[in-house]
Amino acid sequence: MNGKDGGEREMTRAQAPAAFEKFLRGRGLKLTRPRWVILEAALDRRDHFSADELADRLRKNPRPVSKASVYRTLALLKESGLLEEHDFGGGRKFYEQALGRTHHDHLVCIGCGQITEFQNPRIEHMQDQVTEREGFVSVFHSLKIFGYCRACRKRGVSADPQTAHLPREIVGIHGSTT
C-alpha cells in the first residue's frame, strides 16, 4: 500500500511480459493471444487463485480462452518462474505471483479459508540443517499451518482436528513478516 511497494509492484509487472516472452522464445514457443490474456489475468491478481476459477472467468472474456489453454499456460507461467504453484489440499492447485517476491510460507484458516503469509528465517535455517544432516539436497519445500484465524476465533468458529477440512474457497492474503 505504501509508495515503495507500489513502485516495485508496478516495475515487476512491467517486466513480467518481457520475461515470459523471453522464456517462450528460449523454448521455441509462440506468444499467442490466449497466452497474453492469461498472463494479464494472472498479473492482475495479488491473491492465491485456482486454475479452474481463472478458467471459468476467462471463458466468459471478450476474448474467450479455453479451459485447456488456461491450464497449459499456467503450467508455463510456473515453469518460467512468474507464478508459484501451491497445494493447500482439497485437490485443487492454487497459483500466486512469484516474480520479484521472496519465499514465504502459509497459515491456512480451516474456518474461512483465509491465507496468511509469513517468513521466518530461523525456520528456513533449521530446515537447511535438517537436510544437510540427511545428505539431502533441498529443491523446494512447503510449510503450511492449518488452524483458525483470529477472526474465526472471535466468531466462535472451530472444529475438531480429525474432522477439519479446507473450505471450498481460498479467501485472501494477510501479509506478515517475522
Partner DNA sequence: TCTGAGATTGAGACTGATTCTCAATATCAT
Partner DNA sequence: ATGATATTGAGAATCAGTCTCAATCTCAGA
Instruction: Please choose which of its own copies, Zn ion, DNA, none residue 139 contacts, taking the beta carbon within 5 to 8 angstroms, the exact cut-off set by kind.
Output: its own copies
Interior angle at CA 158, CA 157 and CA 162, nearest 5? 155
Q: Applying CB under 5 A, which part among 25-33, 91-99, 130-138, 155-163 lies near Mn ion?
A: 91-99
Pairing of strands 173-174, 115-118: parallel
Q: Which residues of 117-153 are buried (b: 16+ CB within 10 A; e: fewer)?
A: bbeeeeeeeeeeeeeeeeeeeeeeeeeeeeebbeebe
Which string of x and - marks every residue 33-72 that binds its own copies (by CB under 8 A)? ----------------------------------------
Q: Which of 28, 25, 46, 39 is nearest to 69 (CA)?
A: 39
Q: Which is nearer to its own copies, 8 or 52 (CB)?
A: 52
Rule CB under 8 A: which residues touch its own copies?
Answer: 78-81, 87, 89, 91, 107, 109-110, 116, 118, 120, 122-123, 126-127, 129-131, 133-150, 153, 158, 161-164, 174, 176, 178
Rule CB under 5 A: which residues touch Mn ion?
Answer: 96, 117
